[in-house]
Amino acid sequence: MSATLETVDTAPRYYQTFHPDTHAVRAELEQGLCAPNAWVPPKFLYDPLGSCLFGAITQLPEYYPTRTEQAIMARYADEIAQRVGGVGALIDLGAGDCVKAERLFGRLCPRQYVPVDISTEYLRGAVARLHAGYPGLDIVALGQDFSHTLSLPEDVLDDGRLFFYPGSSIGNWSPEQALGMLRQVREACGERGGSLLIGVDRVKDERTLVRAYDDALQVTAAFNRNLLLHLNRVLRADFALADWRHLACFDAARSRVEMHLQANAPVTVNWPGHSREFSAGETIHTECSYKYEPTDFAALLDAAGFNDIAHWTDAQGWFSVFHARA
């Protein structure tokens, strides 16, 4: 009699704590929009369409971070796997389409996969696709906004946790906020062999940096302007796309690329209980992407309580991947 391989189908579990339709979310948006220098936290760039547009951005010739990070991960895959060792839960912060983590499954063989993302509908679709390909993999998906607190349910395995934070998403926080985020991750690693694998974009020439956020096809412009459609839905606001254009610039002193939406002409935007006048040329600041020198980022990891830090980079020194133990 020939043996048959049985695969146990484990249905993914979802825990959704982020809901855009709440007073707290509207209050957070109103606070930024009504500030003298208007701003919106970058997490609001990600609704279902925003997440798809980000996926398209990663395919653009100008957007070097994704392919450079991927090349580093592929080149040093054996070394990374050896350092990381046995993985219990692979916890993917800002998982998006889950594709980057999926590429690690073969080498790291996690016992559990925990994608975390604020773009909850998109996450559900990505997890359904992943489950079809890996029916035996234990998946615990978290629809969560980790800018407030990172909170893991009890069924997330607590030995050998590997936090995965790719794509230089850490650069969307100021260095002070990034330190707070890394401290949270350090805490959540626990005391049973937890660690962090993180991708960080590096300082480079201004033209390369700005083109990555202002591509010729204007996909990043669409990604940024889609934020207004998201705000219209969440706030019931009346932003008109034609009134706003995309801007990207590099602030060398702060080592960050900034994205803004700039008013083409004087415009008044209304939503229930509020209205905000914008003068021509005034902007809404929508994203920062801080760029780090490797020594500065290693110091941040150290200050957050990580140790035994390893670092890999590409031939041009454009991007860094770090592994650090809790």
Q: Using CB under 6 A, list all residues that contact ligand SAM.
A: 43, 46, 51, 54, 58, 66, 94-96, 100, 116-119, 144-147, 166-167, 169
Cα(214)–Cα(30) distance, rounded to whole angstroms?
A: 27
* Minimum distance, C-beta of residue 56 to ligand SAM, in the bound complex (Å): 11
Whole-number Å distance between alpha carbons of 202 and 294: 7
Q: Which amino acid is at 135?
A: P
**In angstroms, what CA-CA distances link 213 with 59, 179, 221, 247, 288?**
13, 24, 8, 9, 11
CA distance 206 to 220: 17
| Structure tokens that stand for 176 in this block | 């002070």
Residue 94 or 193: which CB sits closer to ligand SAM?
94
Q: 49-78 in b/e burial notation, b at 16+ Cβ within 10 A?
A: ebbbbbbebbebebbbbbebbbebbeebee
- Shortest gap between Cβ of 118 and ligand SAM (angstroms)? 4
Query: Closer CB to ligand SAM, residue 58 or residue 320?
Result: 58
Which residue, 202 or 269, has its beta carbon nearer to ligand SAM?
202
Determine the 3-state secondary structure of 292 from DSSP. strand
Closest CB 98 distance from ligand SAM, rounded Å: 8
Q: Which is nearer to ligand SAM, 213 or 244 (CB)?
A: 213
- Give the nearer residue to ligand SAM in terms of CB position, either 119 or 278: 119
State the amino acid at position 324 in one-letter form: A
DSSP tag of 137: S
313 to 14, 68, 75, 246, 317: CA distances (angstroms): 35, 9, 10, 31, 6
- Six-digit token pair at 217? 């096809």
CB of 314 to ligand SAM, least distance (A): 16
Tell me whether residue 54 or residue 278 sits nearer to ligand SAM (CB atom). 54
Q: Which is nearer to ligand SAM, 138 or 145 (CB)?
A: 145
CB of 2 to ligand SAM, least distance (A): 42
Q: Cβ of residue 51: shortest distance to ligand SAM, in angstroms?
A: 6
Q: Measured from the CB of residue 318, what is the shortest distance to ligand SAM in angstroms?
A: 15
